[in-house]
Chain A
């Protein structure tokens, strides 16, 4: 799988940007993440030069970049950089997203090989992961827009539509699994599960939510001990369900 979209984190505080990048990399090890944080003297603030350098550096490696900014003035600096160099604006886009949640969501989506649009949308939808009642409809509709999981660029890995003529018959499978994690399918297990499902290349749902979407999984609000229904359709649906049930029941290596 090729990761074509990188992130640039523009923040007033270098430790904050670095910490956010660390958090995002934990779930998305292959995504290029560059920070442009702090002013010229290393104090709190933003710097146009640092933003330009980070954008140029990231775009030297990947085709497209999604930019997150921490406060209004950081966003203004990014827009000024785009105005000074319109070529940058064609390959980079600033999203209106919460800094930490947006960076994590964008990185995980980029890790799955998604296009810039989908990475940007996942960052913007991440605002719904904060607060007492996630807006499930919005999260789901944005998940619907994301590209087919993993590997659609390689013919051998293309997602099978149900009933498509293949060597193994396309089929459906359903099973239940019990959530083991104390905090349910929170960010880390959701990211691990979403990544694995994307790699499987078979559409899988958990209680109806797209299991390749971190946000959709987190929005289920699952709790320890809850039973969920895992369903898949496509080639080796049963194998995919087994993998997902195994991961959920395995507790993702947590207590």
Chain B
């Protein structure tokens, strides 16, 4: 499987379908510890991404970077709340390091690192704050480890698995960033919706590579 622009587009269409299916689940998580709009926001944002990919007026994409840049600007404009600028910045920074026809293992590592760096530079959260960083940080570590001898899809799969574990690990955490932090200890017991959607996003990247 080649991780090229066509893969990146399949990744985004798959994400749109997954976000739509998980709309209620994400919204319910966010209702417990946030403002209750994460599912709606992610569904709206990725639906807009899918429709831009289908738009004949948008020039065809030849590199992974071109797809990711389109995703970045669309998410920033259409996803409300903190997730729009956070995911938008993640894809924007990822686009800077993926300006090539297809990605090898090191290319996937660079993508995941740049996306995670975008999230942390924008949101200034650190692991343990009960945010999407708790999914992205382990994904980066796992991708870097897997890159030692692994091919692109193996790197991606390792990153996605680590993100899922990282998201699950946010359940007992007490939020210290964003509106969930106002809940203090009452934020414990619920998975962070942003970490959950991050895990979903990376799982969709693996599925789009036909390796799930």
Contacts and interface: CB of A to CB of B under 8 A. Distances in A.
Contacts of A45: 37, 80-81
A219 interface: no
B207 interface: no
Interface stretch (A74-82, A147-155, A178-186, A244-252): A74-82
Interface stretch (B49-57, B58-66, B82-90): B82-90
Given A76-B122, A80-B76, A80-B89, A48 B179 contact: no
B179 A72 contact: yes
Contacts of A84: 73, 76, 92
Nearest to A74: B82
Interface residues of B, number: 20
Contacts, number: 51
What bracket does the count of chain A residues touching chain B fall in? 10 to 19
A84 to B, nearest CB: 7
Contacts of A73: 80-82, 84-85, 178
A136 B122 CA distance: 33
Name the residue among A40, A49, A80, A84 with the largest chain B CB count within 10 angstroms: A80
A72 B178 contact: yes
A124 B85 CA distance: 24
Interface in B128-146: none
A73 B77 CA distance: 13
A49 B85 contact: no
B88 to A, nearest CB: 6
B107 interface: no
A206 to B, nearest CB: 39
SS class, residues of chain A in contact with chain B: helix
B198 interface: no
Name the residue among B76, B88, B177 with the largest chain A CB count within 10 angstroms: B76
Contacts of A72: 82, 177-179
5 contacts: A40-B77, A47-B77, A76-B82, A80-B76, A80-B84
Given A48-B84, A48-B85, 18 more contacts: A40-B77, A44-B35, A45-B37, A45-B80, A46-B81, A48-B77, A72-B178, A72-B179, A73-B80, A73-B81, A76-B123, A79-B122, A80-B76, A80-B84, A80-B122, A83-B89, A83-B92, A84-B92
Interface of B: 35, 37, 73, 76-78, 80-82, 84-86, 88-89, 92, 122-123, 177-179
Interface of A: 39-40, 44-49, 71-73, 76-77, 79-80, 83-84
